[in-house]
């Protein structure tokens, strides 16, 4: 969901102001005025948006197995009377890997950003790392697609070929995909002129008004709403401004190649019948 930033910001100001009069809330009512909120409703941003959208992975993604992809095949032949170790050739395949990403919780602020980050997950008890490239628009739920071509290589392997036999070597890998979430962070610097007027709950008479210039870091810290985060040590005495982060969430799905394997099928040299087969895990090499 993409939310109206002005309304969420007003909730922060209200939370901040309630703490100023919390001791007497049972007996009084109050009204709040925020200069930043008023400006936002008029389409103006009288604060600074610093840099691009920050993107940070949340936890580890979930991996889903996909289809098995053929890479290449060869036959190793041993015509001698002794077992021999014979190296296979290396097998390579160009594969298009696609990542889709979109903002699921954001704000209408016009901030965009992209990031590459490493994620890890476990497949068949093996820890796997992969790099994910993403792009997000804080103000839109539209899906962004990034396609990258990588050359995936199963390197040469040394195989023991029994005497008077052949081994057929087939290289394969699994093309699966992982899904995960990211934390989206917009960085804002500014201050707000906040006025709060307190009235008697029953008579409606004005009792007092408070006015203050509140830097964003203090507003976020004392307002204490989960979508806003104060940036420590960001207060500038000269401008009376501070920084806060506004937080959202994005998701991504990225295809990837895993579980590189060479499949071995052994034949007798003359009979050519299958004697046995086995799977050997092969080291994975990515060539950019």
Q: Which residue has the higher pLDDT, 172 or 101?
A: 101
> What is the tens place of the pLDDT at every residue in 203-251?
778 877 788 899 999 999 999 999 999 999 999 999 999 999 999 999 9
Share of the chain above pLDDT 90, in %: 47
- Residue spans per domain, the chain: 2-48+190-232, 54-183+251-287
pLDDT of 85 reads: 92
Provide the 10 A C-beta neighbour count for residue 259.
Answer: 18
pLDDT in tens, 104-138: 999 999 899 999 888 876 666 556 677 889 999 99
Q: What is the pLDDT of residues 137-196, one digit of tens each?
A: 999 999 999 998 888 888 888 888 888 888 888 888 888 888 999 999 999 999 999 988
Confidence of residue 23 (pLDDT cuts 50, 70, 90): low
Residue 288: per-residue pLDDT: 33
Question: Residue 100 and residue 103: Cα distance in Å, rounded?
Answer: 11
pTM of the model: 0.79
Return the CATH architecture of domain 54-183+251-287.
Beta Complex (2.170)
Mean pLDDT of 55-77: 89
Contact status, residue 247 vs residue 185, Cβ threshold 8 Å = yes
Mean pLDDT over all residues of the chain?
A: 85
Average pLDDT of the residues in 199-203: 76
Q: Tell me, what's the pLDDT at 284?
A: 39
CA distances, 90 to each of 153, 168, 284 (Å): 7, 14, 11
The share of the chain scoring above pLDDT 70, in percent, equals: 88
Phi, psi dihedral angles at 216 (to 5 degrees) = -60, -35
> Does the pLDDT of residue 22 top 70, yes or no?
no
Residue 66: how many other CB atoms lie within 10 Å: 14
């Amino acid at each position: 969901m993409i939310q109206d930033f002005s309304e969420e910001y007003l909730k922060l100001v209200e939370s901040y102001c309630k703490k100023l009069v919390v001791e007497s809330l049972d007996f009084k009512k109050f009204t709040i005025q925020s200069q930043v909120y008023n400006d936002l409703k008029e389409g103006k941003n009288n604060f600074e948006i610093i840099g691009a959208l920050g993107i940070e992975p949340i936890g580890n993604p979930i991996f889903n197995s996909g289809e098995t992809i053929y890479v290449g095949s060869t036959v190793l032949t041993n015509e001698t009377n002794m077992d021999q170790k014979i190296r296979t050739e290396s097998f390579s395949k160009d594969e298009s890997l696609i990542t889709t990403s979109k903002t699921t919780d954001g704000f209408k602020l016009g901030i965009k950003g992209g990031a590459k980050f490493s994620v890890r997950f476990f497949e068949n008890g093996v820890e796997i790392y992969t790099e994910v490239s993403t792009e997000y628009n804080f103000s839109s739920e539209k899906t962004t697609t990034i396609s990258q071509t990588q050359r995936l290589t199963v390197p040469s392997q040394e195989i023991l070929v029994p005497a008077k036999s052949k081994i057929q070597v087939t290289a394969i890998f699994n093309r699966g995909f992982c899904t995960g979430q990211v934390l989206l962070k917009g960085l804002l610097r500014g201050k707000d002129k906040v006025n709060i007027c307190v009235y008697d709950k029953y008579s409606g008479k004005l009792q007092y008004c408070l006015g203050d210039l509140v830097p964003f870091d203090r507003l976020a810290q004392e307002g204490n709403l989960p979508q806003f985060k104060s940036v420590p040590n960001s207060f500038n005495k000269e401008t009376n401004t501070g920084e806060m982060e506004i937080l959202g969430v994005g998701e991504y799905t990225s295809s990837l190649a895993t579980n590189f394997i060479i499949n071995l099928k052994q034949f007798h040299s003359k009979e050519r019948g299958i004697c046995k087969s086995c799977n050997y895990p092969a080291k994975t090499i990515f060539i950019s």
